[in-house]
Structure 1
Amino acid sequence: MGWIYLLGAGLSEIGWAVGLKYTDGFSRLVPTVLTVASMVVSLALLGLALRTLPLGTAYAVWTGIGTVGTVVLGIILFGEAATALRLACVGLILAGIVGLKLAG
């Protein structure tokens, strides 16, 4: 169950990281409320995951999911660069996430 909580926490982290772009410096009410709600959900789910998962593994996987998802959505939604080097680095992060899951 801890891994399911951690996946939800990581997906919520993507939501708040991307949501920050839409808040326009926290000057837009609806995106700000949704972003803060996503932050709360992300941290709550991470806390639940930490009941059964090691701290170092859970934190690394949580931030890795958030990083990879945010990079992908940055490319899709905001036209950020999708160079071979960037994508290779994202692949390394994914390899690290899988490695931590297999090692844990």
Structure 2
Amino acid sequence: MPYVLLGLAIVAEVTATLALRASSGFSRLGPSVIVVVGYLISFALMAKVLTSLNVGPVYAIWSALGTVGAFAGGVLLFGEQVRPITIIGAAIVVAGVVVMNLGGGVSH
């Protein structure tokens, strides 16, 4: 169950981050509300996840998949450019998370 909650926290965080881009510096009400609600949901879910899983690997997964999700969302929703170097960077971020999790100690 903690991994389901972590997945939902990631979805909420990516949604909030993409809404942050759409808010035009908090000048648009709808996306601005999504930013606040999305981050609140994400942090609440993360707090729940951290009652059963260790903070290092959880934060690594959350931040890495959030980064990749925001990158993909930026490309799909806002037409941001994809360069080979950015794809390599995203792969390195994901590889780093895999290496961290290979170290064990995910649950406490």
Q: What is the TM-score normalised by the length of structure 2?
A: 0.86
Could you tell me which residue of structure 2 aligns to residue 7 of structure 1?
Answer: 7
Amino acid at match of 1:92: I
Higher helix share: 1
* Counterpart amino acid of residue 24 in structure 2: D
| Structure 1 residues 23-74: Cα deviation after superposition (integer angstroms, max 9, x where no partner) | 1111111111111110111001101110111111111111111100001111
Q: Is the 8 A contact 1:11 1:65 kept in 2?
A: no
1:36: which partner in 2?
36
Q: Secondary structure at the match of 1:27?
A: coil
The answer to whether the 8 Å contact 1:16/1:39 transfers is yes
- Structure 1: unaligned runs, 5 residues or longer: none
Q: Distance in 2 between matches of 1:59 and 1:96?
A: 12
Partner of 2:19: 19
Cα distance in 2 for residues equivalent to 1:51 and 1:7 = 15
Show the counterpart of 1:62: 62
Alpha-carbon distance in structure 1 between the residues aligned to 2:80 and 2:27: 23
Q: Deviations over 1:3-26 (max 9, x none)?
A: 111111111110111010111111
Instruction: Quote the sequence identity (%).
Output: 34
User: Deviation string for 1:76-95 (max 9, x for gaps)?
Assistant: 22222211111011112222
Query: How many residues matched?
Result: 104
Q: Once superposed, what is the RMSD of the aligned Cα atoms?
A: 1.4
Gap regions ≥5 residues in structure 2: none
